[in-house]
A and B are shown apart, each in its own frame.
Chain A
Amino acid sequence: MSATLLSVRDVHITFGGVRVLEGIDLDASRGEIRGLIGPNGAGKTTLLNIICGIHRPQKGDVLLDGISIVGRKPSEIARLGLGRTFQASQMFGGMTVLENLIIGLHRRTSSGLLSAGLKLKRHRREEAEMEEAARRALAFVGMSELAERPATALSFGQQRVVEIARTLIGDPMIVLLDEPAVGLSANRLTELDGLLRRIRDQKGVTLILIEHAIRLVMDICDQVTVLSSGRRIADGTPLAIRNDRGVIEAYLGKDLRARHQAS
């Protein structure tokens, strides 16, 4: 069991002739929180989409726990232990909060058509276990009282948290978070900060985090990768990144760099 859990190697992808990613490398070790930052249009979400199997790179490889996952279906990759949340809310509107969480257990359960339709004993036991696990997970994120609410009745921030919980409940090795802090109030941001730390510390889950809230990234990430215009321009600890010329340039533009340094 190597220390590197996820390894992205020299990934290239173009859409309609536009080179979106050119030769990206990224490694994530077990139990680390890795930030993925960069200006809009840098290709961050595309990279996540490649990792979780929505897009297929023209070149390069992605290894999850040593296994190449390029070309596999997203659902298959998910079953290998990779979780994912999205920029826009992806709650299942037709279900309650609790049911949304139970869905997260899908990959770990096995009831099929017949055992479900005939309500076999094994199936009933599995259902009961799932509900219990889902209630525990809700308690973990401190939202037990919302279990029976329709998912769409939650606030944006609450939906975010439930989505994270839904991903975690499936016991993934690694979770990709796409801008979890978007639209959160300051209070909620602090809560999220705490939640992500607890996830890493108590559950040992590796996190890859796309985020524009630089404060959050600098605060909780162990390592940060910076993309700009489809290339990786920096990789290192938050401290190193903070002082990286290339990064500042990419974010602020060359002429502003002078002022930044002057100030």
Chain B
Amino acid sequence: MTPFSRRNVLLALLAIAIAAPPFANFYHLFVANLVVIYVLLAIGLNILVGYAGQLAFANAAMFGIGAYATGLLQVQLGWSFWLAFPSGAFIAMAVGLAISLPALRLSGLYLALSTLAFAQATQWVFLHWESVTFGAGGFKTPPLSFAPLPITKPLGLYYLSLALSVGLFMFAQNLVASRVGRALVAVRDGEVAAESLGIDLLRYKALAFGVSGFYAGIAGGLYSALLNFVAPEGFDLFQMVLQKSMIVVGGLGSVAGAVLGAGIIIVLLEALRAFKGLQEIVFGGLLVIFVLFMRGGLVSVIKRHVRGWEEPLRLVQSTAAPAPEVIDTRPSVADR
């Protein structure tokens, strides 16, 4: 048997996550809640970058849009959190879909810049549309209450985040192992071939952006409730790099990797508090080291050493032996 299979390990983590709060202090609960929120972000981003292969830099902006929408619907329109929160997620999804429109025409580095430009424009709007967004100073969100339930806000929010993360983890896992997930990987591995097989590039790129936006939006809503505060600087370059490194450390193109990556990066960020002032160096170095030495992320290392970690989508391990037949290949100039 495989006691440390992917399924068992994830279930054990879940069990710990459910059982731990009564034993944890406010600080641990806060960090645990952050982890759970970042799990959502990392899964969403991994679908876009790891699976669909789109080099997009707008995830922090979509996270921000989710947080702002959830917060502002409460503050400006007086909606309850329970209405504002899902609406915020759908707004982020709609924005994700909208920025995917240029993505059909753009690829690679051009797409990277267009999403970077979008992120800059979003920051600008957060900063300057003061009548709505309260500008650079940000705003406090109304305190969240789980009123009829006998549960405090930090604990309630933690369990809400956890439930959503588990649900959306399952959704993502099903999705990537399906017809849709394969189409995304096909778009990543070869756009022309994917099209020749009837896969509509725009549709699937838009889908990846939309799903990613939805996950970021959910995460944003939870984040605004966790902090009770929304301001532009939370959704900046550092945020973007943070999320990117989660999927790199966990493993590009792996849902379980996104979970591991989010957990590790957030815990590491907390642990790095000890490296007074050296955070940037350690963090940057970590990114380089992972890209250099563990390109498949932690998941690929685990896959190599522990049985039972195959992804639902039978993603390839680079170490697999090539087929015996060796063939005379002619270098093709047409193939860049």
A→B interface (CB under 8 Å): 45, 52-54, 73-76, 78-79, 83-84, 86-88, 90-96, 98-99, 102-104, 106-107, 109, 111-113, 116-119, 123, 126-127, 130, 146, 148-158, 166-167, 170, 182-185, 188
Q: Is the CB of A92 within 8 A of B189?
A: yes
Nearest Cβ in chain B — how far from A130, in angstroms? 7
Q: Cβ of B332 < 8 Å from any Cβ of A?
A: yes
A-B contact pairs, 29 of them (CB 8 A): A52-B196, A74-B192, A75-B198, A75-B199, A78-B195, A78-B196, A84-B196, A87-B335, A92-B194, A93-B316, A94-B185, A95-B182, A95-B189, A95-B316, A96-B316, A98-B314, A106-B179, A106-B198, A106-B199, A107-B197, A107-B198, A111-B178, A111-B179, A116-B180, A117-B174, A153-B320, A154-B322, A157-B325, A185-B327
| C-alpha gap A73/B322 in the complex (Å) | 35
Residue of A nearest to B336 (CB): A88
Chain B residues within an 8 Å CB radius of A103 = 182-183, 186, 194, 197, 199
User: Beyond A119-B174, A153-B321, is A170–B313 a contact (Cβ under 8 Å)?
Assistant: no
Q: Is the CB of B197 within 8 A of A94?
A: no
User: Beyond A148-B314, A150-B320, A158-B325, is A94–B188 a contact (Cβ under 8 Å)?
Assistant: yes
| C-alpha gap A167/B198 in the complex (Å) | 10
Chain A residues within an 8 Å CB radius of B199 = 75, 78, 103, 106
User: Beyond A96-B316, A116-B181, A126-B179, is A156–B327 a contact (Cβ under 8 Å)?
Assistant: yes
| C-alpha gap A185/B330 in the complex (Å) | 12
Chain B residues within an 8 Å CB radius of A102 = 179, 182
Chain A residues within an 8 Å CB radius of B314 = 95-96, 98-99, 148
User: Beyond A75-B201, A130-B179, A149-B323, is A183–B185 a contact (Cβ under 8 Å)?
Assistant: no
Chain B residues within an 8 Å CB radius of A112 = 180
Q: Cβ of B211 < 8 Å from any Cβ of A?
A: yes
| C-alpha gap A127/B101 in the complex (Å) | 30
Q: Cβ of B117 < 8 Å from any Cβ of A?
A: no
Q: Is the CB of B175 within 8 A of A113?
A: yes
The residue that A154 contacts in the complex, of B172, B196, B323, with Cβ under 8 A, is: B323
Q: Is the CB of A146 within 8 A of B189?
A: no
Chain A residues within an 8 Å CB radius of B323 = 146, 149, 153-155, 158
Nearest Cβ in chain A — how far from B272, in angstroms? 32
Residue of B nearest to A105 (CB): B179
Count the B residues whose beta carbon is within 8 Å of the partner chain — how many?
47
Q: Is the CB of A183 within 8 A of B175?
A: no
Q: Is the CB of A94 within 8 A of B189?
A: yes
Q: Is the CB of A155 within 8 A of B327?
A: yes
Chain A residues within an 8 Å CB radius of B334 = 45, 87-88
Q: Is the CB of A109 within 8 A of B320?
A: no
Q: Is the CB of A116 within 8 A of B174?
A: yes
Q: Is the CB of A99 within 8 A of B189?
A: no
Q: Is the CB of A104 within 8 A of B197?
A: yes
| C-alpha gap A175/B175 in the complex (Å) | 30
Q: Cβ of B82 < 8 Å from any Cβ of A?
A: no
Q: Is the CB of B195 within 8 A of A75?
A: yes
Q: Is the CB of A95 within 8 A of B315?
A: yes
Nearest Cβ in chain B — how far from A227, in angstroms? 17
Q: Is the CB of B200 within 8 A of A73?
A: yes
Residue of B nearest to A178 (CB): B334
Residue of A nearest to B317 (CB): A150
Residue of A nearest to B184 (CB): A94
Other 6 A-B pairs with CB < 8 A, given A95-B189, A111-B179, A155-B322 = A78-B197, A91-B190, A106-B182, A113-B175, A155-B323, A183-B330
The residue that B195 contacts in the complex, of A73, A109, A126, with Cβ under 8 A, is: A73
Nearest Cβ in chain A — how far from B218, in angstroms? 14
Nearest Cβ in chain A — how far from B324, in angstroms? 8
Q: Cβ of B326 < 8 Å from any Cβ of A?
A: yes
B 291-330 to A, binary, CB cutoff 8 A, 1 in contact else 0: 0000000000000000000000111110011111111111
| C-alpha gap A83/B194 in the complex (Å) | 11
| C-alpha gap A158/B316 in the complex (Å) | 17
| C-alpha gap A156/B177 in the complex (Å) | 27
B 22-54 to A, binary, CB cutoff 8 A, 1 in contact else 0: 000000000000000000000000000000000
B 162-180 to A, binary, CB cutoff 8 A, 1 in contact else 0: 0000000001101100111
Q: Is the CB of A83 within 8 A of B196?
A: yes
Chain A residues within an 8 Å CB radius of B320 = 149-150, 153
Q: Is the CB of A94 within 8 A of B198?
A: no
| C-alpha gap A73/B105 in the complex (Å) | 13
The residue that A153 contacts in the complex, of B201, B322, B329, with Cβ under 8 A, is: B322
Nearest Cβ in chain A — how far from B69, in angstroms? 21
Chain B residues within an 8 Å CB radius of A157 = 325, 327
Q: Cβ of B66 < 8 Å from any Cβ of A?
A: no
| C-alpha gap A116/B172 in the complex (Å) | 9
User: Beyond A78-B197, A88-B335, A90-B190, is A99–B313 a contact (Cβ under 8 Å)?
Assistant: yes
